[in-house]
Amino acid sequence: MDYLVIMAGGSGTRLWPMSRKSRPKQFQKIIGDKTLLQNMFNYAKLILPTQNIFVMAPISFEQEIRKELPELPSQNFFSEPSAKDNGPAVILASAKLFAKDKEAYVGILWSDHFIKNPGNFKKAFKVAFRAVREFPDYLITIGVKPTSADTELGYIKIAKEVKEYPEGSLYKVAGFKEKPTLAFAKKYLSSWEYLWNTGYKIFSAKMLLSEFRRLYPELEKPVEEIIQAIGSAREEEVIVRNWQSFPRLSIEYLLTDKLSKILVVPADLEWSDIGNWQKLHEVLAYESGHHMVVKGHHIGIDDENCLIYSEEKMIATLGLKDMVIVETSDVIFIAHKQRAHEVKKILEKLKEEGKYFYL
């Protein structure tokens, strides 16, 4: 059977100070009147029925997720004992679904993405789930044609076409390029061979767990213990006990980069990874048709190409260009738009000075 798992455990630090440890970006109404998580849940419902959609996140987020997604069946929340990047979380979700269904086909989604063309999103996943049945030894991913020379995203290099379906085509993956230099990003933009890597993955749970055991034989026992304990009274205790054995790595570094059998479905999703303030400005400017993007209280004169976000206070500006200004109840963040993605430097400085309250 087919399943979707929405990964909702990210901390969203590059959208600080709006996105905080206690309430990261996936729980924020950044675009429109729904949170990013609610939007992704609605996208997922276009593909599969609600009972086949799961959400994976640290246990500390469970209450917020249940509040935002009242339709989510109680058993469809998968909890991580603690945040360890997304690699172990994908393995744990796969183990849980494999224990439930030995023929499980799993699609991994991310809670902080924005999709302008959900119809094509549905078509791409229809192709991917069909393809993974025909090629069960392969991991299927979904890529989108670049629209800019973005150095903050990963790229997929495609090779020959493998198969054509009514809803789209399937290509062999020649390789991955993670966060290239601007020169290479410009080259990829002008080439038909490169796609943005959305991070969506579709696979047989049996295949993924088998490959994980092959690559990490020292973790075969912990994985097997977890699978055997799923559904029993010991499940939580066994997962917690074995969790520390798993490395803190993204699924790309943990597994995807080490696989040779990968196929990609190119799709026109009008897709955005809302990863930083500059990317959010691009999306909101596109949505509104205006380069001055304002959310909240603002009065300005002769400003150009700015993102201004205010929770409470009136923000008054004069003659600003290419700036990001974010006001929350306890922080005011001001940065040039081209450097706003470096906000992690601010967070590191706050940690150095012991000002953890602001994280």
Query: Which of 221, 253, 273 delimits the end of a domain?
Result: 273
Q: Which helix (H) or strand (E) holds 279?
A: helix 277-288
What is the total residue count of the chain? 359
d(CA 187, CA 185) in angstroms, rounded, equals 5
How much is the pLDDT for 6? 98
d(CA 192, CA 175) in angstroms, rounded, equals 14
Asked if 58 and 83 touch (Cβ cutoff 8 Å), the reply is yes
Bridge partner residues of 271 (DSSP): 115
Q: What is the CATH number of the domain that holds 205?
A: 3.90.550.10
What is the dihedral angle through the alpha carbons of 144, 148, 149, 151, rounded to the nearest 10 degrees?
A: -70
Check whether residue 148 and residue 294 sit in a common domain. no
Bridge partner residues of 318 (DSSP): 301
Check whether residue 233 and residue 352 sit in a common domain. no
d(CA 15, CA 280) in angstroms, rounded, equals 9
Check whether residue 200 and residue 328 sit in a common domain. no
Query: Which letter, b or e, does each residue of 102-136 get, where b requires 16 or more Cβ atoms within 10 Å of its Cβ?
Result: eebbbbbbbbbbbbeebebbbbbbbbbbbbbeebe
Check whether residue 241 and residue 287 sit in a common domain. no
Pick the closest to residue 3 from 201, 252, 271 (CA basis): 201
How much is the pLDDT for 288? 78
Check whether residue 253 and residue 304 sit in a common domain. no
Check whether residue 267 and residue 286 sit in a common domain. no
Check whether residue 296 and residue 265 sit in a common domain. no
How much is the pLDDT for 10? 82
Check whether residue 45 and residue 81 sit in a common domain. yes
Mean pLDDT, 10 residues at a time, over the chain (359 residues)?
A: 94 87 88 92 97 95 95 94 90 96 97 93 96 97 92 91 91 92 90 93 97 94 93 92 92 92 95 88 83 90 93 94 94 93 92 90
Check whether residue 225 and residue 320 sit in a common domain. no
In degrees and rounded to multiples of 5, residue 5 shows phi and psi of -125, 120
Query: Which of 273, 293, 309 delimits the end of a domain?
Result: 273
Check whether residue 299 and residue 173 sit in a common domain. no
d(CA 339, CA 334) in angstroms, rounded, equals 10
Which structural domain range is residue 7 located in?
2-273
pTM for the full predicted model: 0.92
Check whether residue 189 and residue 304 sit in a common domain. no
Check whether residue 244 and residue 331 sit in a common domain. no
How much is the pLDDT for 301? 95
Please count the other Cβ atoms lying within 10 Å of the Cβ belonging to residue 166.
8
d(CA 8, CA 324) in angstroms, rounded, equals 26
d(CA 105, CA 2) in angstroms, rounded, equals 5
Pick the closest to residue 179 from 203, 150, 142 (CA basis): 150
Strands 105-110 and 194-204: antiparallel
Query: Which of 219, 252, 273 delimits the end of a domain?
Result: 273
Tally of domains in the chain: 2
